[in-house]
Amino acid sequence: MRPIRGLAGWALACLAAIAPVLALAPNLALAQAQVPVAQGSTPPDELAPPVKHQALFFARRLTGYLPVRDGTQLRYSVLLPQGKGPFPVIVNYSGYDPGSIGGAAYMDDNTAMSVNLDRTLVQAGYAVVGINARGTACSEGQFEFLARSYGEDGYDAIEWIARQPWSDGAVGMANWSWAGMSQLATASERPPHLRAIAPGMPLGDARLDSWFPGGVPAPGFVDGWWGYLHSRWDAARTSARAEGDQRCLTQIATNERTAEAGRVPAILIRHPLRDDFIEIRNMAGRTGRITVPVLSMEVFQDEAVISRMGYFQETLDPSRLWYVQTNGAHDVYAALRFRQTLIGFFDHFLKDKANGFESTPHVQVWIESTLKGPADGLFENLTPGIAFAHATYPLPVTPLALALSAGGRLVQAAAGTGAPDHFAYPMRGPGVNTLFDKDNWEPLGPDWQRGTLAFTTAPFDHDLVAYGPASADLWVTTGIADADLQVTVTEVRPDGQEMFVQRGWLRLSDRAQDAARSTALRPWPIDRPETMAAMVPGVPALARIEVQKFAHAFRKGSRLRLWIDTPSQYGGNLFAPQSVPTQVEVLHDADHPSRLIIGTVPDHSLHDVAVPAAWPACGSVLHQPCRPDPLMPASRP
């Protein structure tokens, strides 16, 4: 069997963890709203090209244990390029299996990150160093996810690497997901020899980016992740057995026992709200300390960590930030198109090459990205259908306000008209991208219209490129103290297909906003226990719902639609909404102007970029599936 790699594996493990619970507890909705999971989907390892034993691409491999300030020793593995050296160094640091790169499992492509990316770095003259976090795989210490010691250990590792004879003292960090979080944590500690970082798809603020998006619990993801984590330690064990490394094998056995104390689901049971313990895991609260150049990659429809990332980019010096954003999946950091930018970035800031990278646009946006042509590894052939850029960060946008109005209309007006609309709660909305062999919408149930509201624009009379976060500002009433809302933005095409664009969520008791950080396009919940407030039955309250960052070309003739319903499943995120039945009412009169506000890219910012006249084929745009428009009579069940 081929290895389950990346966060797709995390999400699949999540499905496996939750499905037995739902099967054995049909009355679970009495405690929390059920979120069914997909059955029978192909494991993500079957999506990758057939795995073959990797050809040796490094000149020499070194392994051992490096000490950090409290004496704990972390397992490392070094892949050295051809040549005499010393070499600039790229670090992969996480709790998966980086301390075993180059080992037997790794050479069979059984690793969390990309062997092909490491090969490219080594062939470009970089030493690649993998380091396991404390308490994971072969490393000593007590596991504690994203503790302050994580960044401190990273600091010590960077400085240790800089002193080694095979290192020239110029150190960078690369990779995504947990290995992206390590870069934020380490760079915030300012190790002197760290020259540049390239974090992809991290949790900037673990609570709002994964554990409780919009304040809504999403426990399925972290439950499943624990199984995926242990599969990575199994890979490290395979390599250790092949090498006769008894120290590593003994430590893995110890860590499997002691790590349970730091298991994330157990932590969230003890810390269900944002207290000081959880705030430590808000790395975006410290990223303002980062002074090195940063190449950030972000995926709009990320099925693992959503696209929020704590908005850590806003805390950085914009002149030292380069930002690549695309539609697609969590693991597209492996894309060859991005790899070209990555090598140019490191060559400039680690090797001091005069390659012109400093003139690269600081914002690159790829939309309608598809997988085209052959590839040696998963997602390497990611190809954008439309790409545009901006010289400086941030890319400017113009807000467009669309008011909810009578008859399910979205109109360009200050406020809508008509009596309130309502839906039955908690009838969950359809899941999106619940399968991992095919992007998809879940089928609608026979009584689905009772549990949702839809508001749709008239056909656009010109092409419109939307970009950035959006805000669904809804005036609502409920009959209970709390409820959870989900909004979904779609494009309704003239061919009768409806295409997924983006989603957002909010727990109504967590609706208080930070006025200093909120904008018209992005609500920012205070998200502290002392500001949470129950709904007063029957009394309207303004609920500003953050629609996650996205970019999308709405062509002339298309319509934009906003759905409002109960949180369901989004990729690997399995939400557990409040379950007490009620009726949620959405007001949209002059006194309660409910509206959706999106950012639009001005034509002058697109320069010579033209939106192709033809719509992309449904099923081709990564993680943006189509379905027949359910509001067309012929499409209704």
3-state secondary structure of 435: coil
Q: What does the angle CA 151 – CA 156 – CA 160 come to, to the nearest 5 degrees?
A: 145
C-alpha to C-alpha distances, 262 to 186, 226, 425, nearest whole angstrom: 20, 11, 35
In 3D, which of 322, 192, 278, 170 has the Cα closest to residue 528?
278
Q: What is the pLDDT of residue 606?
A: 75
DSSP of 481-530 = S--EEEEEEEEE-TTSEEEEEEEEEEEGGG--B-TTT--SS---B---GG
Amino acid found at 437 = D
Beta-strand runs (E) in 318-441: 321-326, 363-367, 370-371, 382-383, 386-390, 398-405, 409-411, 421-425
Q: What is the pLDDT of residue 354?
A: 97
The predicted model gives 480-499 an average pLDDT of 98
Query: 544 pairs with which residues across the strands?
Result: 473
- Domain parsing of the chain, residue ranges: 6-21+49-293, 398-635
In angstroms, the CA 312 to CA 320 distance is 13
What CATH number belongs to 6-21+49-293?
3.40.50
Torsion 585-587-591-596 (CA) sign? positive
In angstroms, the CA 375 to CA 392 distance is 32
Residue 28 scores a pLDDT above 60: no
In angstroms, the CA 583 to CA 568 distance is 17
Percentage of the chain beyond pLDDT 90 is: 84
In 3D, which of 135, 99, 132 has the Cα closest to residue 251?
135
* Average confidence score pLDDT of the chain: 91
Q: What is the pLDDT of residue 377?
A: 86
Torsion 287-288-294-295 (CA) sign? positive
Backbone angles phi, psi at 30, to 5 degrees: -65, -25
Q: Which CATH class is domain 398-635?
A: mainly beta
The contacts of residue 55 (CB under 8 Å, 6+ apart) are none
Q: What is the pLDDT of residue 52?
A: 63
DSSP of 571-582 = TTEE-------E
The predicted model gives 590-602 an average pLDDT of 96
CA 597 to chain centre: 22
In angstroms, the CA 75 to CA 583 distance is 55
Q: What does the angle CA 41 – CA 45 – CA 47 come to, to the nearest 5 degrees?
A: 70
In angstroms, the CA 291 to CA 476 distance is 43
- Tokens standing for residue 191: 């190790």
Query: Can you tell me which residue has the tokens 């914009």?
Result: 318
Query: 173 pairs with which residues across the strands?
Result: 91, 197
Q: What is the pLDDT of residue 222?
A: 86
CA 165 to chain centre: 37
Note whether 49 and 378 are within 8 A (CB). Answer: yes
The predicted model gives 159-174 an average pLDDT of 98
Q: What does the angle CA 128 – CA 96 – CA 181 come to, to the nearest 5 degrees?
A: 75
In angstroms, the CA 14 to CA 219 distance is 9
Query: In this predicted model, what pLDDT tens digit does every residue of 229-243 receive, in sequence order?
Result: 999 999 999 999 999
Query: In this predicted model, what pLDDT tens digit does every residue of 173-194 receive, in sequence order?
Result: 999 999 999 999 999 999 999 9
Query: In this predicted model, what pLDDT tens digit does every residue of 290-344 receive, in sequence order?
Result: 999 999 999 999 999 999 999 999 999 999 999 999 999 999 999 999 999 999 9
Backbone angles phi, psi at 213, to 5 degrees: -60, 125
Residue 597 scores a pLDDT above 80: yes
The predicted model gives 148-167 an average pLDDT of 97
Burial of 634 (0-12, 13-18, 19+ CB in 10 A): exposed
Residue 166 scores a pLDDT above 80: yes
The predicted model gives 33-38 an average pLDDT of 33
In angstroms, the CA 185 to CA 541 distance is 38
pLDDT top residue among 553 and 375: 553
Of the pLDDT bands very low, low, confident and very high (cuts 50, 70, 90), residue 51 is low
Query: In this predicted model, what pLDDT tens digit does every residue of 126-141 receive, in sequence order?
Result: 999 999 999 999 999 9
Residue 570 scores a pLDDT above 70: yes
Q: What is the pLDDT of residue 580?
A: 96
Residue 625 scores a pLDDT above 80: yes
Note whether 378 and 5 are within 8 A (CB). Answer: yes
Residue 505 scores a pLDDT above 60: yes
